[in-house]
Structure 1
């Protein structure tokens, strides 16, 4: 989480907004990663 907030700050994003959005972003990242891993297993 610290790295994500540091990245947000470097990009000029308000840390409070970034902290609010991180759970949703993380959920999408995990879902997409799982899809890629499943595709490699079946492909």
Structure 2
């Protein structure tokens, strides 16, 4: 699994209230863009 997807799933698991809201395609696209932006910076953890 790629790092951004793992980070997204961890983040989503930490925010269960989001599962109760209806998700539109636009909301998912915005969330994905935010996750990609947050995880695209170089890290030294690897």
TM-score where L is the length of structure 2: 0.40
Q: Which protein is richer in helix relative to its size? A: 1
Larger radius of gyration: 1
Higher relative contact order (Cα pairs below 8 Å, separated by 6+ residues): 2
